[in-house]
Amino acid sequence: MSAAPATDVTVLPNGLSCALPADSPLAKLLKSQRTWVGPSAKERLAILRKAKSIAIVGASPNAARSSYFVGTYLLQSSDYRVYFVNPNADTILGQKAYPDLASLPEVPDIVDVFRKGSDIPSVIDDVVAIGSPVIWVQLGIWNQDAAIYGESKGLTVVMDRCIKIEHARFNGGLHLLGFDTGVITARKTVR
């Protein structure tokens, strides 16, 4: 007599639950789906308006990297104090690079992260250790367990969102879908 296959109990979005064989394609699909939801657009806008300083963890001195592009944008298009964190760089965009978050001259209001998804839990520990209230994990990086862990530690977690795109969108420089609007204005931008 063979043992019954292992099952997973899955809670569906409608609140109902069902048991599925753990190795079934449907069980694998349901495990891969995102259920964690971060701050709304209105809440993200409030985070960006309240912040005065941003640290970019995983910042790169390589102009081809997205962290370099985001750093350039933040320095040129915002009033934020921007800090670059990279233990392998001395300077990035003409500014001092710091080896870790603990070395920064102040506690940043937002820690923007360009690291792979599996690194996010250790970055969360570093963010909590220095007392920063927000971790913002860049577009394309997703670790749902880390997001839940970060919130359990009292952090506001934004994940899989580009801080440059969000800032530009909220300030009229980017269409909702991410396209440059081409709007040129003398109006002071909202931070």
Question: Which tens digits make up the pLDDT trace of 37-87?
Answer: 899 999 999 999 999 999 999 999 999 999 999 999 999 989 999 999 999
| Residue 176 confidence (pLDDT) | 46
| Residue 44 confidence (pLDDT) | 95
DSSP state of 117: G
| Residue 171 confidence (pLDDT) | 80
Residue (of 39, 65, 69, 63) closest to 51 by Cα position = 39
* Element of type H or E holding 126: helix 120-130
| Residue 178 confidence (pLDDT) | 47
Task: Please give the Cα distance from 49 to 15 (Å, whole number).
Answer: 36
Q: Count CB neighbours of 6 within 10 A.
A: 9
Q: Which two tokens stand for residue 96?
A: 């001092």
Which residue reads 């940043």 in tokens?
108
Walking along the chain (191 residues) 10 residues at a time, the average pLDDT comes out as: 68 67 72 80 95 98 94 93 98 97 98 96 98 96 93 97 90 56 50 51
3-class DSSP string for 9-78 = EEECCCCCEEEEECCCHHHHHHHHCCCCCCCCHHHHHHHHHHCCEEEEECCCCCCCCHHHHHHHHHHHHC
For residues 142-178, b (16+ Cβ closer than 10 Å) or e, as one string? ebeebbebbeeeebbbbbbbbbbbbbbbbbebbeeee
| Residue 184 confidence (pLDDT) | 46
What length does the chain have?
A: 191
| Residue 186 confidence (pLDDT) | 44
| Residue 70 confidence (pLDDT) | 95
